[in-house]
Chain A
């Protein structure tokens, strides 16, 4: 049997503690699972390998936090936005992007997609992944 019992989630967070942002690449079709999962959601293969991602990505939508869509613990992230992220390696997911306020959104919305870069961010008790707007994107 090819499928292995693995601590996928724990490994992802352990790697963040080591300063590495990792996903799993499908050895059958080459698709990237990020955040990482047991099987490939593109072709269904279980033949996957851990890889460190470059962190280079693009942001394709921008939603600003508001009363309903924010929490007090997000305050250190300000200014930030939520949006659709595409990793250079191919995965697509929703994430936080720092460095965007209402004024910058007006400029960025006309230029989508814009370049962003992944960063490791300390939350209460564990590290996670957020993104930063690349320099020059608002010029």
Chain B
């Protein structure tokens, strides 16, 4: 029984446009060094509007998401500071920040604003510089973020009163889900290790076919370059050391820069707003479930995911067997296994076998994170959720080229996670004529 029972939306809301930048380390490349928050957000926002055939002046409101605006951008009001950049000057907006879950709450915010009847067409975008920080007193220059500074700011994710003091909550984020999964399903150490490694291998196989991903080289190729016979042999080598109790280096996010955006509107107003210019079917947001357990609570990710998943199935009436494709924010890679099982997308206690058999890669029968997820597509913290949505929408349109999944997905579930710890899970479905 979920803690909160959701009500249904007051009116249907659909996704009509999506946009996404490449995920990259902007300062490392002379061609991207100098890109600003407004450049990235504006590109993603305008791409989403162009995708839908909507003029920026016809959008009523925008949401702005960023996980770390003060540290990385020297911004206190990030939505305002980019407000002149993409044709929406004077339109109202608000900033929100839920760390790595920001890009998932971005859709929730926009859908609520339209479903309530207040607005008809809303943009929601997120931008993050995960790899660099603004140079103070300079209009656009940035410098690489040191690991020391990054870790200092991630410590701020955890409750100052008790969790940081008690020391366990913030450290359990890396291995709690793996320990729980292994213990409760009776896996051996080797089986758990294989599962974690294969998730990374499958993610990279997916990103190798994704032009926006930061990492494109498969682990098979990397293994060969380093004298190993197979990807799994390489993954067990000193090149991929354990950095957690269970977790290996390949199971951790690749932090980077990027932006993504989505445009939603009232389903019954699509024709009026797009003037017939939209070239694809809309995707209806059937429902969004949310949960949150602060990191001092045992198995916080698992409990919050259970809550959010139960909510969204309850309010939509959708059954797990109807989900055709699944995404999970997996900056700690174990996330995508446990989330997929809680969602019923993979059978409970058996999901690890699907992963080790490669069935969750883009060409398998249970595709997960077809863009490569956080360990291969990259993690531009706030923007990652909307980047997953961008990928999912294109999979549902059938235009993903080499990495297009076998069966055209009609119904999808995406599970956001982050911020020690918010969970946001949604079910979307292609709207047929």
A residues near B, CB below 8 A?
9, 12, 35, 60-70, 74, 82-85, 92-96, 109, 112, 123, 126, 128-130
Q: Are B298 and A93 in contact (CB under 8 A)?
A: yes
Flag the segment in B44-52, B172-180, B193-201, B227-235 that touches A: B172-180
List, in ascending order, chain B residues with CB within 8 A of A66's CB: 174-175, 242-245, 247
Question: A69 touching B298 by the CB < 8 A rule?
Answer: no
Contact with A68, one of B166, B176, B244 (Cβ below 8 angstroms): B244
CB of B296 within 8 A of CB of A63, answer no
- Chain B 281-313, CB within 8 Å of chain A: the 1/0 string? 000000000000001111100000000000000
Contact of A82 among B161, B165, B171, B242 (CB under 8 A): B171
A67, B167: Cβ atoms closer than 8 Å = no
How many chain B residues sit at the interface, stated as a range, is 20 to 34
Q: In the complex, what distance in Å separates the CA atom of A84 from the CA atom of B297?
A: 8
Q: How far is the CB of B227 from chain A (nearest CB, A)?
A: 25
Report whether A84 and B183 are in contact in the complex, using a CB–CB cutoff of 8 Å: no
Q: Is B168 an interface residue (CB 8 A)?
A: yes
What are 29 A-B pairs with beta-carbon distances under 8 A? A9-B161, A9-B162, A35-B161, A61-B179, A63-B171, A63-B175, A63-B179, A66-B175, A66-B247, A67-B243, A67-B244, A68-B174, A68-B244, A69-B172, A69-B245, A74-B167, A82-B171, A93-B296, A94-B169, A94-B172, A94-B176, A95-B166, A95-B167, A96-B167, A96-B168, A109-B183, A112-B183, A126-B165, A128-B165
For the residues of B in contact with A, the DSSP-based class is loop
Min distance, Cβ A44 to any Cβ of chain B, angstroms: 12
Q: From residue 166 to 224 of chain B, which have CB atoms closer than 8 A to chain A?
A: 166-169, 171-172, 174-176, 179-180, 183
A35 touches B168 (CB 8 A): no
Q: A82-B167, A93-B297, A94-B297 are in contact. List 16 more A-B contacts (CB 8 A).
A: A60-B298, A61-B299, A63-B172, A65-B171, A68-B243, A74-B167, A83-B168, A85-B298, A93-B298, A94-B168, A94-B295, A94-B296, A94-B298, A96-B167, A123-B165, A130-B167
Q: Count how many pairs of residues, one from A and one from B, have CB atoms less than 8 Å apart in the complex.
A: 86
Which chain B residues border A12 with CB–CB below 8 Å?
Answer: 162
Using Cβ atoms and an 8 Å threshold, which residues of chain B touch A68? 174, 243-244, 247, 252
Q: CA–CA, A60 to B168, complex, Å?
A: 14
Distance (Å) between the CB of B284 and the closest chain A CB?
A: 36
CA distance A66 to B174 in the complex (A): 10
* Complex CA distance for A108 and B306, rounded to whole angstroms: 28
Are B168 and A64 touching (Cβ within 8 A)?
no
Q: Which of A62, A93, A128 contacts B179 (CB 8 A)?
A: A62
